[in-house]
Amino acid sequence: MFITERGQRFVIPRTELTYPCHVLRMHENAAKAPVDHVMADFEDACPYEFKGESSRATMVEALNKVDFGSKVVTVRPNNIKSKFFLGDIQAIMMGAVDRFHGIILPKTNEPEDIIYLSSLLDSLELEAGWTTKVQIEALIETPLAVVNAYDIAKSSDRMVGLIFGIADFTAAMGVSEMVKSQNKNFHYAKQATAVAAKAAGLHAIDNAYLDLIRRDTSEEEADVIRGDIRKKNEEAAALGMDGTWVIHPQQAEIANEVYSPDDIEVASAKRAVDIYHELGGGAIADPETGEFHDEATIKGKLMLLAKAVQAGTVDPEYLAAQAAKSKEVTGYDILEMMRQVV
Question: Which of the two residues, 310 and 250, has the higher pLDDT score?
Answer: 250
| String of DSSP letters for 201-222 | T-EEEEPPP-----TT--HHHH
Question: Which of the two residues, 244 and 310, has the higher pLDDT score?
Answer: 244
Contact criterion met (CB below 8 Å) for 22 and 50: yes
**Cα–Cα distance between 209 and 26 in angstroms, integer?**
19
**Cα–Cα distance between 295 and 6 in angstroms, integer?**
34
Q: Terminus-to-terminus CA distance in the chain, angstroms?
A: 9
Residue 280, judged by CB atoms within 10 A of its CB (0-12, 13-18, 19+), counts as exposed
* Average pLDDT for 143-171: 97
In eight-state DSSP terms, residue 66 is: -
**Cα–Cα distance between 291 and 188 in angstroms, integer?**
32
**Cα–Cα distance between 237 and 260 in angstroms, integer?**
10
| String of DSSP letters for 113-128 | HHHHHHHHHHHHHHHH
**Cα–Cα distance between 182 and 173 in angstroms, integer?**
13
Of 12-26, 150-164, 232-246, 323-337, least confident by mean pLDDT is: 323-337
The dihedral sign for the CA sequence 156, 158, 164, 166: negative
Q: Give percent of the chain above pLDDT 70.
A: 100
* Average pLDDT for 5-22: 92
Question: Which residue stretches of the chain are H helix?
Answer: 24-32, 53-65, 85-95, 111-128, 143-147, 149-153, 166-173, 182-185, 187-199, 219-238, 252-258, 263-278, 295-311, 316-330, 334-337
Q: What angle do CA 226, 239, 136 make, to 5 degrees?
A: 90
Q: How far is CA 135 from the centre of its chain?
A: 12
Mean pLDDT of the chain: 96
- φ/ψ (deg, to 5) at 66: -80, 135
**Cα–Cα distance between 210 and 15 in angstroms, integer?**
15
Question: Which of the two residues, 340 and 231, has the higher pLDDT score?
Answer: 231
Q: What is the pLDDT of residues 19-65, one digit of tens each?
A: 999 999 999 999 999 999 999 999 999 999 999 999 999 999 999 99
Side chain identity, residue 173: M
Please give the pLDDT value at position 7. Answer: 79
- φ/ψ (deg, to 5) at 274: -65, -50
* Average pLDDT for 171-184: 92
Side chain identity, residue 150: Y
Please give the pLDDT value at position 45. Answer: 95
Question: Predicted confidence band at 342 (pLDDT cuts at 50, 70, 90)?
Answer: low
Query: How long is the chain?
Result: 342
Domains of the chain and any CATH numbers: 2-258 (3.20.20.60), 263-337 (no CATH)
- φ/ψ (deg, to 5) at 192: -60, -40
Residue 212, judged by CB atoms within 10 A of its CB (0-12, 13-18, 19+), counts as middle
Question: Predicted confidence band at 78 (pLDDT cuts at 50, 70, 90)?
Answer: very high
In eight-state DSSP terms, residue 75 is: E
- pLDDT score of 329 more than 90: no
In eight-state DSSP terms, residue 85 is: H
**Cα–Cα distance between 220 and 47 in angstroms, integer?**
33
Residues sharing a CB contact under 8 Å with residue 91, sequence separation 6 or more, in sequence order:
56, 57, 59, 60
